[in-house]
Amino acid sequence: MFTLSITPRFYETDAFGHINNTVITGWFETAREPVFRLFNPSMEIKNLPLILARVEVDFVAQIYYGADIEIKTWIEQIGNSSFIVAHEAWQNEHCVARGKAVQVYFDFSTQKSGRIPDQFRDQLQQYLKSQ
Amino acid sequence: MFTLSITPRFYETDAFGHINNTVITGWFETAREPVFRLFNPSMEIKNLPLILARVEVDFVAQIYYGADIEIKTWIEQIGNSSFIVAHEAWQNEHCVARGKAVQVYFDFSTQKSGRIPDQFRDQLQQYLKSQ
Amino acid sequence: MFTLSITPRFYETDAFGHINNTVITGWFETAREPVFRLFNPSMEIKNLPLILARVEVDFVAQIYYGADIEIKTWIEQIGNSSFIVAHEAWQNEHCVARGKAVQVYFDFSTQKSGRIPDQFRDQLQQYLKSQ
Amino acid sequence: MFTLSITPRFYETDAFGHINNTVITGWFETAREPVFRLFNPSMEIKNLPLILARVEVDFVAQIYYGADIEIKTWIEQIGNSSFIVAHEAWQNEHCVARGKAVQVYFDFSTQKSGRIPDQFRDQLQQYLKSQ
């Protein structure tokens, strides 16, 4: 499992007085960076062989300004050419949001999606929740 | 159906050269504003009796800087205390993203979610896709 | 003079109930796009020969959600290798923010800043306020 | 002096491949939070007696994704009803941006700006650069 600590920023609040919902997809993208790094250790942006196909977020409770968030991230499922990353955001010992992201492997040599090579598959498996 | 035209902003691009995925949830929130207005014609922020419970986005194709986006928004389903809003984003005559948002009716008098009152139910029904 | 109309988005508000100050630099960048187009008609991103050197913003009055903003943009001064773009944001017939941006001409052939070529100089002059 | 470490987020990049300029005003706002805390230890948002009057940013060098930023923040000048906060952003041992923010003291009892009370003046002085 990967963990990321985030301090909410004031400009991330909205007029309801809480963290705006649209901010969470950005936090979850940030929490997936160690996953991107598995596929692209140098983090040279142009070489990342992943495409984001889908995201889902469940907003479980209000997220407040003034207390840190812990984001837990793991691999939920590994398919042929895609895999699912799962996230939970916790604040003050409550789960405040859950999310999933479907990432597709993009084969630069064929310029389309393709089977996730075994070298990456092995790495992803180490982050399956049951592991 | 509601429609909204959006001109992508340069700061909404990312290092891949396209519009960043996390921007789309913000555009879809903006596209739901006419729905919020049904529940709160004065748009006094504190009086909106809706809570966002869930969002989903499918990223269908790259979204480019330099061409307008048309977002189509309609009501997909009306439940007891919640309803589903559906979105499609189109650019250059292609659907580039699809999304859903689950909005829950919040009853201020009881301070919890509750049955959507008939007056709002009638209005939502006019935006069901089959209508 | 260039003008741009902006409808504030809900996620651009903050917990004070107004539009967050950090949003304005993004709106002003968007208002400079016609200036970028003078230097790069095709808007191919990699070919824009301009670097942003400095921005200033004066926050004159609260900016509210729920009413459109008109941004007026003009060229304030043309120097040897840089020029100053000026902005005013108006809402409900009041000036709510003023800003300036210093843009430097970047000569791709020498890979450093250089004198603004006459062809661009002529175009900029048409947008000087006195014109 | 206050210091804040920021890990650039992928969605903060733009199509030029660097961190977008508009992001910096948000980082600097975040770097001012310890200053806000001097005026409002509980960080109850509604009680912050400060208004942002002006910001300036000088973009000194490209800011890259993939390396942390250190933001140094101090008080540059204390006036009657306002004070100036200064910032520097450093990455890989280079100063990449400098900024200033003019904050005005807002007296809730008179509902307008007013002299900064001595208790806050004393605290601000501890963060003057010469101290």
- Residues A51-84 have pLDDT tens digits of 999 999 999 999 999 999 999 999 999 999 999 9
pLDDT at position D70 is 98
Q: Who's near A14: CB < 8 A, 6+ residues apart?
A: A20, C10, C11, C13, C14, C15
Confidence of residue A122 (pLDDT cuts 50, 70, 90): very high
Q: What residue in A sits closest to B47 (Cα-Cα)?
A: A16
Pick from A2, A9, A55 the residue to mutate for testing the D interface (most D CBs within 10 Å): A9
Asked if pLDDT for residue B60 goes beyond 90, the answer is yes
Six-digit token string for A71: 């984001």
pLDDT at position C110 is 84
Count CB-CB contacts under 10 A for residue A99. Answer: 24
Asked if pLDDT for residue A108 goes beyond 80, the answer is no
Confidence of residue C4 (pLDDT cuts 50, 70, 90): very high
Which chains neighbour C (Cβ–Cβ under 8 Å, 3 or more pairs)? A, B, D
pLDDT at position C130 is 66
Q: Is the complex ipTM higher than 0.90?
A: yes
B56-70, B99-113, D114-128: which range is least confident on average?
A: B99-113
How many CA within 13 A on the CB side of residue B110?
A: 7
Test B9 with C29 for CB contact under 8 angstroms: yes
Q: What residue in A sits closest to B56 (Cα-Cα)?
A: A56
Nearest-CA distance from B94 to chain C in Å? 21
Q: Who's near A9: CB < 8 A, 6+ residues apart?
A: D26, D29, D30
pLDDT at position C22 is 97
How many CB pairs (< 8 A) connect A and D?
32
Average pLDDT value for residue range A25-30: 98
Q: In chain D, which residues have their Cβ closer than 8 Å to the Cβ of A30?
A: 7, 9-11
Q: What residue in A sits closest to C20 (Cα-Cα)?
A: A11
Question: Reduced to 3 states, what is the DSSP secondary structure of residue B88?
Answer: strand
Test A15 with C17 for CB contact under 8 angstroms: yes
Asked if pLDDT for residue B130 goes beyond 80, the answer is no
- CA-CA distance, B9 to D50, in Å (whole number)? 30
Test B9 with C17 for CB contact under 8 angstroms: no
Q: In chain B, which residues have their Cβ closer than 8 Å to the Cβ of D14?
A: 10-11, 13-15
Run of H or E residues at B31: helix B22-31
Nearest-CA distance from B15 to chain D in Å? 4
Test C15 with A20 for CB contact under 8 angstroms: no
B58, B3 Cβ separation under 8 angstroms: no
Confidence of residue B71 (pLDDT cuts 50, 70, 90): very high
- CA-CA distance, B12 to B7, in Å (whole number)? 10
Per-residue pLDDT reduced to its tens digit, D69-114: 999 999 999 999 999 999 999 999 999 999 999 999 998 788 899 9
Count CB-CB contacts under 10 A for residue C41. Answer: 9
Which chains neighbour A (Cβ–Cβ under 8 Å, 3 or more pairs)? B, C, D
Test C59 with D45 for CB contact under 8 angstroms: no
Confidence of residue A98 (pLDDT cuts 50, 70, 90): very high
pLDDT at position C92 is 97
Per-residue pLDDT reduced to its tens digit, D23-75: 999 999 999 999 999 999 887 877 899 999 999 999 999 999 999 999 999 99
B50, B29 Cβ separation under 8 angstroms: no
Asked if pLDDT for residue D130 goes beyond 80, the answer is no
How many CB pairs (< 8 A) connect A and C?
32
Asked if pLDDT for residue B108 goes beyond 80, the answer is no
Average pLDDT value for residue range C74-88: 98
pLDDT at position C131 is 52
Return phi, psi of residue C38, to 5°.
-60, -35
Test B52 with A59 for CB contact under 8 angstroms: yes
Confidence of residue A93 (pLDDT cuts 50, 70, 90): very high
pLDDT at position A44 is 80
Average pLDDT value for residue range B11-23: 96
Run of H or E residues at D28: helix D22-31
Q: What residue in B sits closest to D21 (Cα-Cα)?
A: B11
Print burial letters for D95-118: b (CB count within 10 Å at least 16), e (below 16): ebbbbbbbbbbbeeeeeebbebee
Nearest-CA distance from A120 to chain C in Å? 32
pLDDT at position C45 is 77
Print burial letters for B12-47: b (CB count within 10 Å at least 16), e (below 16): bbbbbbbbbbbbbbbbbbbbbbebbebbeeeeebee
pLDDT at position C83 is 98
pLDDT at position B110 is 84
* Domains by residue range for chain D, with CATH: 2-125 (3.10.129.10)
Confidence of residue B131 (pLDDT cuts 50, 70, 90): low
Q: In chain C, which residues have their Cβ closer than 8 Å to the Cβ of D29?
A: 21-22
C contact set with A (CB within 8 A): 10-11, 13-15, 17-18, 20-23, 65
Nearest-CA distance from C64 to chain A in Å? 10
Question: Reduced to 3 states, what is the DSSP secondary structure of residue B71?
Answer: strand
Pick from C18, C20, C65 the residue to mutate for testing the A interface (most A CBs within 10 Å): C20
DSSP assignment of C48-101: --EEEEEEEEEE-S---TTS-EEEEEEEEEE-SSEEEEEEEEEETTEEEEEEEE
Confidence of residue A130 (pLDDT cuts 50, 70, 90): low
pTM, whole model, 2 decimals? 0.95
